[in-house]
Structure 1
Amino acid sequence: MHRTHTCGELNISDLGKEVTLAGWVQKSRDLGGMTFIDVRDRYGITQLVFNMEEDAVIGDQARKLAREYVIKVQGKVVERSNKNAKIPTGDIEIKVSSLEILNSAKLPPFLIEDETDGGEDLRMKYRYLDLRRNPVRNNLVLRHKMAQEIRKYLDSQNFLEVETPVLIKSTPEGARDFVVPSRMNPGEFYALPQSPQTFKQLLMVSGFDRYFQIVKCFRDEDLRADRQPEFTQIDCEMAFIEQEDILNLFEGLIRSLFKSVKGIDLNEVPRMVYADAMRLYGSDKPDTRFGMEFVELNDVLKGAGFPVFDNAELVVGINAKGCAEYTRKQLDELTDFVKRPQIGATGLVYLRCNADGSLKSSVDKFYGEEQLKAWAAAFNAEPGDLILVMAGAADKARKQLNELRLEMGSRLGLRDKNQFAPLWVIDFPLLEWDEESGRYHAMHHPFTSPKPEDIALLDTKPGEVRANAYDLVINGTEIGGGSIRIHDRALQSLMFKHLGFTEEEAQKQFGFLLDAFEFGAPPHGGIAFGFDRLVSIFAGLDSIRDVIAFPKNNSGRDVMIDSPSTISEEQLKELSIKTVS
């Protein structure tokens, strides 16, 4: 053994022990007659002391050590005169009698410390060095602990962990697939799974009752902070259940995680129908840590001769409480914020409810005092409040106001990362219209069951059909989603028809599933949680990259290993792939 103890476990009770430690040099301090070295491993830091007067040879060795050298030392645990209460080993140090350099190291391109001087691009290139830093390592320790707790909970609920294939069939619905050419079947391709969806349904047909898997999934889509081309799901499916069973069981999982990992007792998770989420927050994943709910103002503000409001499908606003003293500069900043291309608003209207009770709007010439009072009353506004209003096409205005609401929540300190507001959003639309393709698409996926009472609307009002679908949202982030599945061949075939599949296309793509339904498929449903997102919420991070050991950058590249990369002409030839000249 290279060590008898780790660098994080020795304390005052170990005084006098002869120990062997191994790790990386964190820093050194040469004080002439004495040299102090901090040695680090994943468990912590221990201070080493070298006395030149007692052993000049080993002291000279110590002076030659540089950051990140890998060393092994033997020595006696002694009490530290200058104690460090910030670390568990701060009461002791090791009086070194033997030093061995296991490996030297080049000067790292950035400091391996909690507060590093390395930018994100540099740290991604040298990710193996970044992983030595406590904040990044602690995120992966958290990830490990959460994975263990998830397995423990699901095992206690009689779930079986079953692995499903990684090389599967490409399907046209959803995001783009990553495809893999088959050498043994020239001109044909596998796809990497976006989800084990059909396989977990087949497991239900097989009688596997309760399945789960912490599984890698892949989507070839544009990236942002909460997306990676490969990501991890907590994938679950249950047979002989209804929606209520799934919500209760997996609410139990989330509450168990918060209790065991963070020591937080969550209250019962509230539920909100999709229609209310869009009406009150303009989002199907509302951040309910704070209020600022939408108020619709068509009846209050239309008809006064202000064209922006009179010509709008929807006039809607929020009450930013206590913000009436915002300066003109601050209001201009908010206007510029909503005008950004990614939000796309043309402007912003406001009403100040001044501390003296007077009212002042940015469109005073169109509204008299009584109208302004009605405007303020619609929000139950008090002196000191600031009303912010947007108008336009209904869906667009709601989405734009949602962005403004979140911005105001951040500015007012209402989005505390240490506060958690989980929410079930239920009763999603089954289908959504896509202007580009000129047809309906499944809002979740084509295997989602419509609510039984809405099935008759499929032929006449498909846009009004509700799904037996549900999402779990925490702090405005979608953490998981699922649905009760279709388990009847006739209904599944009808669903494919409404999604624009011919019978031949449906049979070619999903014939294996349709055929399976004819052999006694039980009622079943499930849910999948984004594990990376869930860990990032627990860690208080905005990006999922720092909870993944080796993530890709915003362009989908691994800059550490320089991937994706070209392959040789010989490999291309074996795969029957012609290069594009």
Structure 2
Amino acid sequence: MHRYRSHNCGELRAADVDTDVRLSGWLHNRRDLGGILFIDLRDHYGLVQLVARPGTPANEALSSLTKETVVRIDGKVSARGADNVNPDLPTGEIEIEVSEVEVLGTAEQIPFTINADDGVNEEKRLEYRFLDLRRERMHRNIMLRTAVISAIRHKMVALGFNEMATPILSATSPEGARDFLVPSRLHAGKFYALPQAPQQFKQLLMIAGFDRYFQIAPCFRDEDARADRSPGEFYQLDIEMSFVEQEDVFQPVEQLMTELFTEFGKGRTVTSPFPRIPFREAMLKYGSDKPDLRAELELVDVSDVFAGSGFKAFADKHVRALAVPDTADQPRKFFDQLGDFAVQQGAKGLAWVRVGDDNALTGPIAKFLTEDDIKSLVVALDLKPGHAVFFGAGEFHEVSKIMGAVRVEAAKRAGHFVDGEFRFCWIVDFPMFEKDEETGKIEFSHNPFSMPQGGLEALETQDPLDILAWQYDIVCNGTELSSGAIRNHEPEVMYKAFGIAGYDKETVEAEFGGMLRAFKFGAPPHGGIAPGVDRIVMLLADEPNIRETIAFPLNGNAQDLLMGAPTEVEEARLKELHLSIRKPQVK
């Protein structure tokens, strides 16, 4: 028999009764019922129940061991009594009568329970991450991640893509976040940068003629944590394609996501095809460029209704309305709670009215609305008896943010939200440029390397703020999975686009000389996208925080509490790297 096991803890069934077995694993739980010990033994594959009878050496050995001790046991498989069968456990029809025990790894008193969620804080969980990963939920999440990445690789190859690796040590990149810098020992005073994304390299692979590339790419950005963003490092499915237009990129990505979320979605459906929603339409209808389409309500711009109105709270402001069917008879508490939610989002309050019979409006602001206002609202919002209408007024972006959140919350509270589905969409037609509100300067609004719609002619003849880019995002259930674009592969277009944003030709050549040089030697039209693997798994696992799907994440302060990173470096190593430390002064 094998030194440690003849079977794993998850595979024994009723057909194995009377078989002599050897198992190894962790002592997951222990129960003493009248001197008879029942032990749950756990390994990677599952749980199995052990039985140690009173007066046996096995009972004596197992009764004194701490939970999470690693043991090897010998025993015989026996059938559980009908009343003791556990239908929720794959091994629930059998148990192991233990005859011999060997301790393989002793365990100190554990700092939190493994077999239940005891509400331990995240800092403690990350400090003892190796224990946290023993929990069923965390183990399941990490194995889901493994399976998803494996499936992605197989599906991408089947779609005709080739997996290629790109450098980790490279030059700094204008990706929009801070680089992690690596000092050079051989080149004093110079630094490598860890890649924020393989953007330039994957474009160079297209210029080199490889046509369809993908990579499960590690990316590094020195940015703050969020629930859907891990600080430090993350992984993305990096994709690039040659001789493509926007729809050519959408097709394989849409097929991949539909198959992936169907396979691992635990019965949740995937709506397909994915709608294409222009950026400006998304901001107007949903208040966000990453709309949650499970909320089956839309915002409507009613600013024109109140232009020049005597109602000063709305007059000459941007006003967005949300009509919610079948809610007029809700108690006042419903409206007050939604108003409190709006305040939490930054609003001063939430105006509302009810629509009664004959489209008569009642509510706090009804008395301020003229007959013409009411008629216009009825038409604009297609109001019917039973509707409630909520209003937000102010500056466009502020109203969008607040009312976008109210739209989703109102849908959930009023029964207009669809659970159990993955609703994807493409957000398209992003503006190429925007104006900085403080300086008035024209700058890139998204990715500076995107091709403007209309090419060089658009850059030379249109108002920069009217130019759209071949840029797109893929969104699922309110979470942005990725941005992508058809790339600008023409040097003259690149010079012109950067010129509009205030970069002279010399600066462009100094910052992006490698790419420009490549473009001048025959660059194909190309485009791509890079969906976040961590976010994909987060959605599939139905986890609210991305760190729950990463084996060893940094905490919210970008610290590794398990390994103690970041650490100080001894003076000799700093000298070797030509570095000195200048710490901020403590005030």
Deviation track 1:334-354 (CA, whole Å, cap 9, x = no partner) reads 3343334xx433332111124
Q: CA deviation at 1:572?
A: 2.3
Identify the range of structure 1 (413-422 vs 571-580) with the bigger mean alpha-carbon deviation: 413-422
Once residues 275 and 329 of structure 2 are traced to their aligned partners in structure 1, the CA distance between those partners, rounded to angstroms, is 34
- Give the TM-score normalised by the residue count of structure 1: 0.94
- Where does residue 234 of structure 2 map in the other structure? 231
Q: Is 1:318 matched with 2:322?
A: yes
Once residues 271 and 525 of structure 1 are traced to their aligned partners in structure 2, the CA distance between those partners, rounded to angstroms, is 17
Q: CA deviation at 1:437?
A: 6.0
Q: CA deviation at 1:364?
A: 3.3
1:281 pairs, out of 286, 310, 314, with 286
RMSD: 2.1
Q: Is 1:272 matched with 2:277?
A: yes
Change (3 A) 1:247 1:419: same
Once residues 508 and 120 of structure 1 are traced to their aligned partners in structure 2, the CA distance between those partners, rounded to angstroms, is 45
- Where does residue 214 of structure 2 map in the other structure? 212
Once residues 458 and 233 of structure 1 are traced to their aligned partners in structure 2, the CA distance between those partners, rounded to angstroms, is 35
Change (3 A) 1:464 1:577: same
Once residues 355 and 131 of structure 1 are traced to their aligned partners in structure 2, the CA distance between those partners, rounded to angstroms, is 58
Q: CA deviation at 1:267?
A: 2.5
Change (3 A) 1:68 1:415: farther
Change (3 A) 1:458 1:106: farther
Q: CA deviation at 1:356?
A: 9.2
Partner SS for 2:282: helix
- Where does residue 409 of structure 2 map in the other structure? 407
Q: CA deviation at 1:489?
A: 1.7
Partner SS for 1:308: coil
Identify the range of structure 1 (284-293 vs 330-339) with the bigger mean alpha-carbon deviation: 330-339
Change (3 A) 1:260 1:116: same
Which aligned pairs between 1:418-567 and structure 2 lie closer than 5 A? 418-436=420-438, 438-452=440-454, 455-458=457-460, 460-567=462-569
**Letter in structure 2 aligned against 1:546:** E
- Where does residue 199 of structure 2 map in the other structure? 197
Once residues 173 and 85 of structure 1 are traced to their aligned partners in structure 2, the CA distance between those partners, rounded to angstroms, is 52
- Where does residue 331 of structure 1 map in the other structure? 335
1:138 pairs, out of 137, 140, 164, with 140
Partner SS for 1:309: coil
**Letter in structure 1 aligned against 2:338:** L
Identify the range of structure 1 (27-36 vs 129-138) with the bigger mean alpha-carbon deviation: 27-36
Q: CA deviation at 1:144?
A: 1.1
Q: CA deviation at 1:171?
A: 2.9
Deviation track 1:3-24 (CA, whole Å, cap 9, x = no partner) reads 1111111010111111111111
Identify the range of structure 1 (345-354 vs 463-472) with the bigger mean alpha-carbon deviation: 345-354
Identify the range of structure 1 (90-99 vs 153-162) with the bigger mean alpha-carbon deviation: 153-162
2:456–2:492 CA contact under 8 A, matched in 1? no
Once residues 514 and 249 of structure 2 are traced to their aligned partners in structure 1, the CA distance between those partners, rounded to angstroms, is 26
Which aligned pairs between 1:117-266 and structure 2 lie closer than 5 A? 117-229=119-231, 230-262=233-265, 264=269, 266=271
2:26–2:70 CA contact under 8 A, matched in 1? yes
Q: CA deviation at 1:179?
A: 1.5
Once residues 465 and 366 of structure 2 are traced to their aligned partners in structure 1, the CA distance between those partners, rounded to angstroms, is 40
Deviation track 1:486-515 (CA, whole Å, cap 9, x = no partner) reads 112222222222232222221222111101
Identify the range of structure 1 (446-455 vs 19-28) with the bigger mean alpha-carbon deviation: 446-455
Change (3 A) 1:321 1:450: same
**Letter in structure 1 aligned against 2:566:** P
Q: CA deviation at 1:247?
A: 0.8
Partner SS for 1:529: coil
Change (3 A) 1:6 1:197: same
Partner SS for 2:150: helix
1:308 pairs, out of 280, 291, 313, with 313
Once residues 240 and 573 of structure 2 are traced to their aligned partners in structure 1, the CA distance between those partners, rounded to angstroms, is 39
Change (3 A) 1:350 1:266: closer
Change (3 A) 1:486 1:304: closer
Deviation track 1:37-58 (CA, whole Å, cap 9, x = no partner) reads 11011211100111225xx222
Deviation track 1:239-279 (CA, whole Å, cap 9, x = no partner) reads 11221111111111111212333364642212111121112
- Where does residue 73 of structure 2 map in the other structure? 73
Change (3 A) 1:522 1:377: closer
**Letter in structure 1 aligned against 2:250:** L
Partner SS for 1:122: helix
Change (3 A) 1:310 1:143: same
Once residues 201 and 30 of structure 1 are traced to their aligned partners in structure 2, the CA distance between those partners, rounded to angstroms, is 64
2:303–2:316 CA contact under 8 A, matched in 1? no
1:454–1:466 CA contact under 8 A, matched in 2? no
- Where does residue 400 of structure 2 map in the other structure? 398
Q: CA deviation at 1:120?
A: 2.2
Once residues 388 and 16 of structure 1 are traced to their aligned partners in structure 2, the CA distance between those partners, rounded to angstroms, is 69
Change (3 A) 1:323 1:108: farther
2:355–2:387 CA contact under 8 A, matched in 1? yes
**Letter in structure 1 aligned against 2:387:** D
In the alignment of these two chains, the number of paired residues is 576
Uncovered stretches (5+) of structure 1, i.e. residues with no partner: none
- Give the TM-score normalised by the residue count of structure 2: 0.93
Deviation track 1:70-100 (CA, whole Å, cap 9, x = no partner) reads 1110111110121111100000001111111
Q: CA deviation at 1:136?
A: 0.9
**Letter in structure 2 aligned against 1:268:** P
Q: CA deviation at 1:328?
A: 4.2
Once residues 33 and 301 of structure 2 are traced to their aligned partners in structure 1, the CA distance between those partners, rounded to angstroms, is 71
Uncovered stretches (5+) of structure 2, i.e. residues with no partner: none
2:282–2:291 CA contact under 8 A, matched in 1? yes
Once residues 542 and 427 of structure 1 are traced to their aligned partners in structure 2, the CA distance between those partners, rounded to angstroms, is 29
**Letter in structure 1 aligned against 2:11:** E
Once residues 339 and 346 of structure 2 are traced to their aligned partners in structure 1, the CA distance between those partners, rounded to angstroms, is 11
Once residues 216 and 531 of structure 1 are traced to their aligned partners in structure 2, the CA distance between those partners, rounded to angstroms, is 10
Once residues 493 and 132 of structure 1 are traced to their aligned partners in structure 2, the CA distance between those partners, rounded to angstroms, is 54
1:3–1:22 CA contact under 8 A, matched in 2? yes
1:458–1:465 CA contact under 8 A, matched in 2? no
Q: Is 1:298 matched with 2:303?
A: yes
Change (3 A) 1:415 1:578: farther
Identify the range of structure 1 (509-518 vs 282-291) with the bigger mean alpha-carbon deviation: 282-291
Percent identical among aligned pairs is: 42
Once residues 194 and 436 of structure 1 are traced to their aligned partners in structure 2, the CA distance between those partners, rounded to angstroms, is 28
Identify the range of structure 1 (537-546 vs 252-261) with the bigger mean alpha-carbon deviation: 252-261
- Where does residue 8 of structure 1 map in the other structure? 10
Identify the range of structure 1 (84-93 vs 383-392) with the bigger mean alpha-carbon deviation: 383-392
Once residues 444 and 57 of structure 1 are traced to their aligned partners in structure 2, the CA distance between those partners, rounded to angstroms, is 69
